[in-house]
Amino acid sequence: MSLLKVEGLNKIFGGHYALSDVHMDIRPGEVHALVGENGAGKSTFIKIVTGVYSPDGGTLLWKGKAVTINDPGDAREIGINVVHQDRHLIPSFTGYENLFLGLKYPSSGVGVKWKAMQNRAKSLMEEYGVKLDMNKTAERMSPPERTMLEILRAMMLECNLLILDEPTASLTDQESEQLFSLIGKLIERGTSILYVSHRMDEIFRLSHRITVFRNGQHVATVNRAETDRDGLISLMNNKEYKKAIRIEREGAAGKPVLEVRNVTTVDGKVKGVSLDVREKEIVGLFGLAGAGRTELLETIYGLRRKSSGDVVIRGELKSGLSPRASLDEGVVLIPEERKRDALVMGMTIRENITLPVLKKFSSGWKLRGGEERKEAEGWMEDLKVKASGTEQEVGQLSGGNQQKVVFAKALMSSPFLYLCDEPTQAVDIMTREQIHRLLREQADAGGAVLFVSSDLQEVLDIADRLYVLHEGRVVADLPNRDVTPENVLAYCFGQGKDRDQS
Ligand SMILES: Nc1ncnc2c1ncn2[C@@H]1O[C@H](COP(=O)(O)OP(=O)(O)OP(=O)(O)O)[C@@H](O)[C@H]1O
Ligand SMILES: [Mg+2]
């Protein structure tokens, strides 16, 4: 019998079907993966099942009985908990407060029992082996910390179905492992999981069955053993799929574009880092959570203050680093948090893309709107942004398509140095390769790329060379030749040096 059975589900946005006649069944105790290209309808499906959106037709059966889920409270009540793709935390609330958001605080009639709240949170963290400073406010937490907090929150109430929409998008492998062991424990207890991800390895590792959506329609549901990575991708985009192969570019690098000399930040997150990136090079930067990857990029870009050391760009020593100066000069940062740092949700795609480059399209006081739109459309097409046009609001796009807009925006400013912090986060596997191709083209044309990803395999797929960071310091500088994930991880855990000597 099904735990949740959905039939004939429709959802229409602005005259287009986001979901059309979708069916799906989730069995008790299974991990059911849901995959599809960016904009295929995965999050919309989840939002309907959890009462965020109301459907435009279709039926939901829960344990064999018809149900209507009018709001998120209804979903929780029947036993469906969720971690949405666009995270839902209150920035100024502490971990504890966010954890109890929307739940009844334990109270003794007059006051809230803070002690009871803390104990409940602590035992939950112990049970699942999660370490988080719950007194910190959400805005002071890193993206992975926030994800773990949301996952914990979903676990606060017993549930029969836990829905995770791209939970690992900003997690490192190590943190993902924590999540996977947590999933394992839930499955043992008979909880079902609906799992959305673009990461093929975890889909094949975790799931029992896999459902594929394409353009708002259900294409297939298969047992894991019945398919493989390429087969799944072909179902997703209805095309034969071949993975891109990395070509080694020996001796291709040119003059140094970026030289970081002994840089330490005021907050001590980066400690005496030196590295360089040359023309035509894609340099990877890898490290575990807290290694200082994001902080280093932010320092180079001028968002974070350094206390000592130098940043040299194209041979010129930069004394005052600032985002504005960086942008004017041709240095772009593709930040980790698209919602907070890169996009204005209420503005159109075109406005977002051209925001930093209005100068380029104005002659005197006049804006050359036609050119602007044409270039924006060109990049949108290259990146296959799924939208009704350049005039659609960014907030209405799917998560992956928002990320594509962030990338298009970076390309529009024609930079020569790309500082990329998780640039392919949330994008589907086809677009991810397209982004790699575009970065490679930029590099081949003389640009330089510093590339951070929490997905080690991705770094190894794209980088010519890579630096490993550990607790704010560079612990290895490796040409990407015969490097295995194990080699890199050994450095991340601070063991690399010993291994070399033995
Ligand atoms: N609030 C909204 N208003 C208008 N259109 C929307 C809205 N929410 C989603 N859509 C559209 O519905 C379609 C499906 O989006 P959805 O977010 O479900 O995709 P997804 O499969 O989750 O993609 P991703 O992998 O990028 O997260 C997209 O074309 C999107 O633009
Ligand atoms: Mg989504």
Residue nearest to atom 25 of ligand 1 (CA): 38
Dump strand ranges (E) for 382-479. Answer: 417-421, 448-452, 465-470, 473-479
Measured distance CA(323)–CA(333) in Å, rounded: 9
Concatenate the DSSP letters of all residues of 402-426 into one string. Answer: HHHHHHHHHHHT--SEEEEESTTTT
**What's the mean pLDDT when you consider all of the chain?**
87
Residue 216 has pLDDT above 90, yes or no: yes
Instruction: Among 10, 13, 37, name the best residue to mutate to test ligand 1's pocket (greatest count of ligand atoms within 8 A of Cβ).
Output: 13
Neighbours of 410 (CB within 10 A): 25
Percent of the chain topping pLDDT 70: 90
394 lines ligand 1 (CB under 6 A): no
Residue 297 has pLDDT above 60, yes or no: yes
42 lines ligand 1 (CB under 6 A): yes
Residue 241 has pLDDT above 80, yes or no: no
Query: Measured in angstroms, how far is the CA atom of residue 255 from the centroid of ligand 2?
Result: 41
Residue 493 has pLDDT above 90, yes or no: no
Ligand 1 atom nearest to CA at 85: 27
**What is the H or E stretch that residue 21 is in?**
strand 16-26
The predicted structure's pLDDT at residue 154:
86
CB distance 449 to 197 below 8 Å: no
Measured distance CA(311)–CA(297) in Å, rounded: 11
Ligand 1 atom nearest to CA at 46: 18
If pLDDT is split at 50, 70 and 90, which confidence band does 111 have?
low
Mean pLDDT of 317-339: 86
Residue 312 has pLDDT above 60, yes or no: yes
DSSP state letter for 338: I
Ligand 1 atom nearest to CA at 36: 21
CB distance 283 to 449 below 8 Å: yes
36 lines ligand 1 (CB under 6 A): yes
Query: Measured in angstroms, how far is the CA atom of residue 439 from the centroid of ligand 2?
Result: 24
Residue 245 has pLDDT above 70, yes or no: no
Position 268, amino acid? G
If pLDDT is split at 50, 70 and 90, which confidence band does 170 have?
confident
Instruction: Give the pLDDT confidence of 30-78 residue by residue, as tens digits.
Output: 999 999 999 999 999 999 999 999 999 999 999 999 999 999 989 999 9
Measured distance CA(3)–CA(360) in Å, rounded: 56
The predicted structure's pLDDT at residue 207:
96
38 lines ligand 1 (CB under 6 A): yes
Ligand 1 atom nearest to CA at 386: 29
Pairing assessment for the beta strands 366-367 and 362-363 based on DSSP bridges = antiparallel
Mean pLDDT of 302-313: 93
The lowest-confidence range among 144-148, 198-202, 220-224 is 144-148
Residue nearest to atom 12 of ligand 1 (CA): 18
Q: Distances from the Cα of 229 to the Cαs of 128, 195, 225, 455, in angstroms? A: 30, 16, 11, 17
Instruction: Among 43, 50, 200, name the best residue to mutate to test ligand 1's pocket (greatest count of ligand atoms within 8 A of Cβ).
Output: 43
Query: Measured in angstroms, how far is the CA atom of residue 400 from the centroid of ligand 1?
Result: 9
CB distance 308 to 302 below 8 Å: no
404 lines ligand 1 (CB under 6 A): no
Q: Phi and psi at residue 168, in whole multiples of 5°?
A: -95, 5
Q: Which ligand is nearest to the CA of 41?
A: 1
If pLDDT is split at 50, 70 and 90, which confidence band does 380 have?
confident
Measured distance CA(404)–CA(410) in Å, rounded: 10
**What is the token pair recorded at 76?**
């929780």
Query: Measured in angstroms, how far is the CA atom of residue 501 from the centroid of ligand 1?
Result: 52
**What is the token pair recorded at 346?**
């209420």
Query: 496 or 324, which is more confident?
Result: 324
CB distance 331 to 257 below 8 Å: no
Neighbours of 400 (CB within 10 A): 27
Q: What angle do CA 117, 123, 128 make, to 5 degrees?
A: 130
Measured distance CA(317)–CA(263) in Å, rounded: 13
Residue 6 forms beta bridges with which residues? 24, 60
SS3 256: strand
Q: Among residues 432, 422, 451, which one has the least CA distance to residue 283?
A: 451
The predicted structure's pLDDT at residue 363:
57
If pLDDT is split at 50, 70 and 90, which confidence band does 500 have?
very low
386 lines ligand 1 (CB under 6 A): yes
CB distance 12 to 55 below 8 Å: no
Query: Measured in angstroms, how far is the CA atom of residue 261 from the centroid of ligand 1?
Result: 44
39 lines ligand 1 (CB under 6 A): yes
- The reply to whether the predicted model has a pTM over 0.75 is yes
The predicted structure's pLDDT at residue 501:
38
Instruction: Give the pLDDT confidence of 396-426 residue by residue, as tens digits.
Output: 999 899 989 998 888 888 899 999 999 998 8
Mean pLDDT of 108-118: 71
Mean pLDDT of 288-295: 86
Set out the domains of the chain in order of their start, with CATH numbers. 4-237 (3.40.50.300), 253-330+416-423+443-502 (3.40.50.300), 340-414 (no CATH)
Instruction: Give the pLDDT confidence of 136-145 residue by residue, as tens digits.
Output: 999 998 877 8
The predicted structure's pLDDT at residue 499:
40
**What is the H or E stretch that residue 7 is in?**
strand 4-13
Classify 21 in phi/psi space as left (phi over 0), alpha (psi -120 to 50) or beta.
Answer: left
**What is the token pair recorded at 358?**
């209005």
Measured distance CA(394)–CA(270) in Å, rounded: 34
Query: 26 or 385, which is more confident?
Result: 26
The predicted structure's pLDDT at residue 502:
35
The predicted structure's pLDDT at residue 498:
45
